[in-house]
Homo-oligomer: A and B are copies of this chain.
Amino acid sequence: MLAPVLTPILPMSAINLKQLAGQLGLSSSTVSRALRDSYEISTATRERVQVMARQLDYQPNPYAGSLRNNVTKTIGVILPEVDNHFFSSAINGIEEVAQQNGYHVLIYLTHDSEEQEKSVSQYLTSGRVDGILVSLASGTRNISHLEKLKKLEIPMVQFDRVSKKLNTATVTTDDYVSGYKATEHLIRAGCRRIAYLLVSENLSIGSKRMQGYLAALHDHHIPYDAGLVLNGSGPNDENLVRIRHFLRQNPQVDGIFASVERLALSSYHACQSLGIAIPKAIKIIGFSNMETASLLAPSLTTITQPAYAVGKEAARILFHAITKNKPVLPAQSIELKSELVVRASTQAGSQPTNARFVEVCQAVQAVGF
């Protein structure tokens, strides 16, 4: 029996195969074959089973047959969000490989909610897809729903937002090194009170990027202040309120390291509404694959992940398992390198008077006076 809490997701029969078999005093496999009109079962038994099935309103799962034979020619991609350029690029990489293999790609959104992720996973247990690529919701604490899918031997590869507890291959980027580099870049630009905007403590990306942040502070003899770590796992409007409040309470903050794209944007909105000048008063760096990073005022310094390659590699591992009928192994995991792209939002701050004069001249020139 499926977990009762999830029953609304799938249309359920009054009874399942096992219960039907129990009523008939037969094994589930005999009943299953009788329902499929197998020659191995006598006509009398077939008839008896089919009559009872109708009487008890037994509904066979219409997808159960396709699970075993990879006939769906479909993979499912479970994503926390699409309004994030990392994921939209990763999808492109995934689709390229899927097309080469003659497969369709279905996208399921969890909106960063553990409940939604559970519901989608439950839905996929019925064999609607031949394989799954998953990037975890930031709200996910318990991964038993994914373990259930793994037990059904549906090939699964995690990417970017992964849990090492799940015994499968992962495709990630060098989050620790990138977190270190981003923090060090802010320190070199003159920041000493650097806030860290955390997406989730549960996710590998949250903890690894933060470990890099802590290590860089340590190596540069800047004491760690837990009060400068801000939880940004809520929706955008909630994060904006929280960042504004935080910046008002902590006027000494001179740098922000946003561990995901939307937290960098919320920081921009917060600074804009509070009249805090970037990079003069606060420098900002964020993980981001935004095409518009260079168009922002000021242009945003980013840690840019090889999103397309992440999607492609994850799909490659998955299709290897699907087409060769082999399990996905943790040993197949890959880590790719991200890139620090320096732009105006982290431009070094304490300028000599001379430089300021040049800046004024440029400003005057810019407005065409």
Contacts and interface: CB of A to CB of B under 8 A. Distances in A.
Contacts of A92: 111
A123 B109 contact: no
A269 B268 CA distance: 20
Contacts of A95: 109, 111
B296 A299 contact: no
B104 A73 contact: no
Query: How often does this chain occur in the complex, in copies?
Result: 2
Contact of A104 (B82, B108, B299): B108
Nearest to A273: B294
Nearest to A366: B363
A280 B297 CA distance: 16
Nearest to A7: B102
Interface in A213-237: 236
Interface in A90-114: 91-92, 95, 102, 104-109, 111
Interface stretch (A141-149, A181-189, A330-338, A353-361): A353-361
Contacts of A59: 71
Contact of A364 (B62, B63, B297, B363): B363
A306 interface: no
A291 B265 contact: yes
Nearest to A77: B107
Contacts of A291: 236, 265
A361 to B, nearest CB: 10
A42 to B, nearest CB: 14
A66 interface: yes
A234 B299 CA distance: 26
Interface string A336-368: 000000000000000000001101100110111
Interface in A132-186: none
A3 interface: no
Nearest to A8: B102
A364 B369 contact: no
Contact of A360 (B71, B85, B104, B367): B367
Contacts of A87: 82
B106 A107 contact: yes
A10 interface: yes
A109 B102 contact: no
Interface in A272-308: 272, 277, 280, 290-292, 294-299
5 contacts: A82-B88, A105-B108, A105-B109, A356-B368, A363-B366
Given A62-B71, A83-B85, A107-B109, 18 more contacts: A63-B63, A81-B88, A82-B87, A82-B107, A83-B88, A104-B120, A106-B106, A106-B107, A265-B292, A265-B295, A269-B295, A272-B295, A295-B297, A297-B298, A356-B367, A359-B367, A360-B364, A363-B364
Closest 8 CB pairs of A and B: A297-B297, A363-B363, A107-B107, A83-B88, A82-B82, A360-B369, A11-B71, A62-B66
